[in-house]
Amino acid sequence: MEDPDAGVLTPGGGASQGFQPPSGGRPSANPAPGRQAEGRSGNGQAPDAAPHDKPKWKKRRKRRRGRKVFARDGVQQAPPPQQAKQAPAGGEAQPATEPVAPAPQAVAEAARRPSFQDLPVYAALDLGTNNCRLLVAVPGRPGQFRVVDAFSRIVRLGEGLSATGRLSDAAMDRAVEALKVCADKLRQRTVRRARLIATEACRSAANGAEFLARVKAETGLSLEIIDRRTEARLAVSGCGSLVERDTDGVVLFDIGGGSSEIALVDVSRQRTPRLANHIVSWTSLPVGVVSLAERFGGRDVTPRVFQAMVEEVTDMLGRFDGRHRLAHVTSGERFHLLGTSGTVTTLAGVHLGLERYDRRRVDGLWMDRPNVDSMIEKLLGWDFNARVANPCIGADRADLVLAGCAILEAIRGIWPSERLRVADRGLREGILSELMADDGVWRRNWRPEIRQ
């Protein structure tokens, strides 16, 4: 998708042309969406209303072709039967008006529109250092898709990796169990194309390939280890809709468990539908929330320990030669940071005071500099038990969230910005967007291949 020019990322392969789900069951077709009938009878009354009770609906007057028509609020009126018009005194009755046939163009448009059952199914799986995530979707409006199934579980595959260089038996067991759930979900559908990826933990572990062979044997899933360049590009592809038209530049970052990808995106001169085409520079830091927390400690983080984490990540960013490629836009109001990771979504949930994490309120949220400063200061003031008690953090992230905040602080120090946009999306969404775009599902005259 991307042209290799001046740091622009090149496309990555690995997507299957026709995904074959693991054996063990016959895939079913997509379930058709249905709506429950409303609790009213055909005349608009409640089912238990007496036959002669007069409903107390407010009348609303409407004008239609010279006639006065009254419609009850909340009830859709059926069209009146066609009757002969009343003739004036001494005249003849006029014939009933024939119904108007739909325009041929509208009929053709409806014929081109595929039904939900006929839409092709796409799947994306991301096995990271901390999480195992699956997303299954069908195409929607241009540039969009509709999620029909999803799965996410914290597995901590990279636990202990920074110290031993290997995936532990317990971590691999947790990941395999989560992948079995994903395999079961994929068996339930006829998936046209899928891409199943593994990132930093499998990339850097001495026994990463051995582990993926076990995954294949026990789940039937063939995972592909992607390089850091591809990972950065997919993160950008997944967040394209969150970069608005009046934007000149964005530093997009994905703080993972074992690595952190950063991409500089320049849309000041032109913009194409694929945001990843505008990456002018990128880097992948060999540090994430799991590895940083293991090295410095994640339970009891003092301000001094926190500052040491920030300084280590800042030193890594200082060795990134392409960090100045957006210097011409970073001082303007049309530049901002865009974060896609558990760290920024957690900060957003705490900022909103959510009693339960709600993706609909978090994804796309804008936070200004004082908001971010305040949330990091608040988390630093909480002890481990207080972080566990927060519903947007919990026991799974309580020892990792401050390590993520340290990485975020280092990024903000290199690219100061008054605005940060939060993205609860990432690699899976990028995979789905690329697969669907490559298949041309959003083209005007595209028609799906009807399954037999």
Residue with tokens 């669907």: 436
Lateral strand order in the sheet of 145-154: 145-154, 131-139, 121-127, 191-198, 224-225
Report the C-alpha gap between 429 and 117 in whole angstroms.
22
| Tens digit of pLDDT at every position of the chain (452 positions) | 333 333 333 333 344 444 555 554 444 445 444 433 334 333 333 344 444 444 444 445 544 444 443 333 334 444 444 544 454 444 455 555 555 555 666 555 545 556 667 899 999 999 999 999 999 999 998 888 999 999 999 999 999 998 999 999 999 999 999 999 999 999 999 999 999 999 999 999 999 999 999 999 999 999 999 999 999 999 999 998 899 999 999 999 999 999 999 999 999 998 888 899 999 999 999 999 999 999 999 999 999 999 999 999 999 999 999 999 999 999 999 999 999 989 999 999 999 999 999 999 999 999 999 999 999 999 999 999 999 999 999 999 999 999 999 999 999 999 999 999 999 999 999 999 999 999 988 886 665 654 44
Homologous superfamily of 239-425: Exopolyphosphatase. Domain 2 (3.30.420.150)
Report the C-alpha gap between 291 and 48 in whole angstroms.
64
Domain coordinates of the chain in residue numbers?
116-228, 239-425
Contact in structure between 264 and 280 (CB atoms under 8 Å): yes
pLDDT score at 23: 52
pLDDT score at 33: 42
pLDDT score at 448: 60
Q: 230 in helix, strand or coil?
A: helix
Report the C-alpha gap between 169 and 317 in whole angstroms.
33
Q: 220: which 2 tokens?
A: 């039937």
Domains 116-228 and 239-425 fall in the same CATH topology? yes
Q: How many residues does the chain have?
A: 452
Neighbours of 60 (CB within 10 A): 11
Residue-wise DSSP of 184-209: HHHHTB-EEEEEEEE-HHHHH-TTHH
Contacts of 372 (CB under 8 A, 6+ apart): 347, 408, 412, 420
Homologous superfamily of 116-228: ATPase, nucleotide binding domain (3.30.420.40)
Contact in structure between 99 and 105 (CB atoms under 8 Å): no
Torsion, Cα 44 48 52 57, to 10 degrees, reads: -40
Q: 85 in helix, strand or coil?
A: strand
Torsion, Cα 278 281 286 291, to 10 degrees, reads: -50
Q: 360: which 2 tokens?
A: 């609909």
Phi, psi of 415 (to 5 degrees): -125, 80
313 to 10, 236, 391, 403, 404: CA distances (angstroms): 26, 21, 28, 10, 11
Residue with tokens 């991409």: 263
Q: Considering Cα of 256, then 426, then 184, then 196, what sign does the dihedral take?
A: negative
